[in-house]
Amino acid sequence: MQNRYDAVTRMLRTRRRMDGMNAINHRTRELAIRESDGLNVVLLWRPGEDAVTVTVTDERTGEHFRLSVEGDRALDAFYHPFAYAA
């Protein structure tokens, strides 16, 4: 039960942080989210613009970046965001 609570807490923290970045609004759909070793990766889609972005947040440092990616590369960018940031 504690693991579920921790996972939800982390996701809400990430969403709040991203809300501050104006990443999530009523026109944005969250397609996937994952966390590993303090890094949060979120795949977002804006259907009105047919735009896909991947946002990476490092909870340890507070640093973050956002990538715009082509729809057919979305999952690859979600799983390998640093390769797309280079």
Res 12 pLDDT > 70? no
Q: Is 43 helix (H, G, I), strand (E, B) or coil?
A: strand
28: nearest Cα among 19, 39, 16, 17: 19
pLDDT top residue among 19 and 79: 79
Distances (CA, A) of 60 to 7, 32, 48, 72: 16, 21, 33, 31
Structure tokens at 63: 């640093």
**What integer pLDDT is reported at residue 18 of this predicted model?**
56
**What integer pLDDT is reported at residue 48 of this predicted model?**
85
pLDDT tens for 14-70 read: 655 555 555 445 588 999 999 999 999 999 999 888 899 999 999 999 999 999 999
**What integer pLDDT is reported at residue 47 of this predicted model?**
87
